[in-house]
């Protein structure tokens, strides 16, 4: 009997599908998910794990976020215990998590608003930021907890102003792809990241968006009027919805 129960459990584990971006949010009627390269940042974003359906957006303090009205889903990723991981920070976190999992440590680098280049390799090798310079103060540590400490440093000194300068302009909005970012630098600025793209026979695109906000909160997949699929052809009434415009469209590479 125990052997049967074990086999039955293994069967259900085998057929259970992980709850991630592309499995929960199917392409709208008449659209198909745009294929991305295996192993790419886009593929990684499509496979982002989500918290259970109905999970609300919460701030770093545990309160219901004021943006919860726009929650379609919550990305299963920590928000931290400080008011640090806000809008641009969430985009940098997602990009860095992807690169860290790829062990592409040299590519994890961001500029502070001051212009200082803060790269993960320096931090992992034991250097610490001090007055626009690196100072060797710790032992080498490429562990995930130390990676998160590096991210908190980035969150403290970088933002939409610096990230906007680092990203590349998307000259043709028809080429919008998963991983692109709608961003406007400022104090405050804001940004959204594209988690998935679907296209119809006429090459019209719809896309999923994610954000964090102020104060720092869970990274949320967005929706408007219960519809998680946004378009450049339709104005959005969500907070900072005016940024969903080709004028603000950029990408990492």
The mean pLDDT of the chain is 93
Span 133-152, average pLDDT = 98
Q: Which residue matches tokens 């545990």? A: 62
pTM: 0.92
Q: 177-226: per-residue pLDDT in tens? A: 999 999 999 988 999 999 999 999 999 999 999 999 999 999 999 999 99
Asked if the model's pLDDT at residue 10 lies above 50, the reply is no
Q: How far apart are CA 66 and CA 68, in angstroms?
A: 6
**Percent of the chain residues past pLDDT 90, beyond the cut:** 92
Span 146-171, average pLDDT = 97
Nearest of 115, 127, 252 to residue 191 by alpha carbon: 252
Q: Both tokens of residue 193? A: 């990241």
Q: How far apart are CA 17 and CA 20, in angstroms?
A: 9
Nearest of 48, 157, 148 to residue 108 by alpha carbon: 148
* pLDDT bucket at 7, cuts 50 / 70 / 90: very low
- Cβ atoms of 176 and 192 within 8 Å: the answer is no
């Amino acid at each position: 009997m125990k052997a049967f129960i074990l086999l039955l459990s293994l069967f259900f584990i085998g057929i259970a599908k992980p709850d991630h971006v592309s499995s929960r949010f199917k392409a709208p009627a008449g659209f198909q998910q745009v294929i991305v390269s295996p192993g790419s940042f886009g593929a990684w974003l499509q496979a982002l794990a989500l918290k259970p359906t109905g999970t609300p957006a919460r701030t770093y303090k545990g309160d219901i976020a004021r943006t919860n009205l726009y929650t379609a889903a919550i990305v299963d990723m920590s928000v931290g215990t400080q008011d640090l991981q806000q809008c641009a920070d969430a985009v940098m976190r997602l990009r860095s998590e992807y690169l860290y999992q790829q062990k592409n440590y040299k590519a994890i680098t961001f500029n502070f608003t001051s212009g200082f280049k803060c790269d993960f390799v320096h931090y992992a090798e034991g250097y610490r930021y001090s007055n626009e310079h690196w100072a060797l103060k710790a032992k080498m540590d490429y562990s995930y907890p130390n990676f998160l400490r590096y991210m908190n440093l980035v969150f403290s000194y970088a933002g939409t102003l610096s990230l906007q300068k680092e990203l590349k302009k998307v000259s043709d909005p028809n080429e919008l792809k998963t991983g692109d970012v709608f961003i406007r630098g400022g104090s405050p600025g804001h940004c959204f990241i594209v988690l998935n793209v679907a296209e119809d026979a006429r090459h019209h695109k719809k896309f999923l968006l994610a954000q964090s906000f102020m104060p720092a909160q869970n990274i949320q997949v967005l929706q408007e009027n219960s519809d998680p699929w946004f378009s450049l052809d339709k104005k959005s009434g969500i907070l900072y919805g005016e940024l969903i415009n080709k004028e603000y469209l950029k990408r990492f590479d």
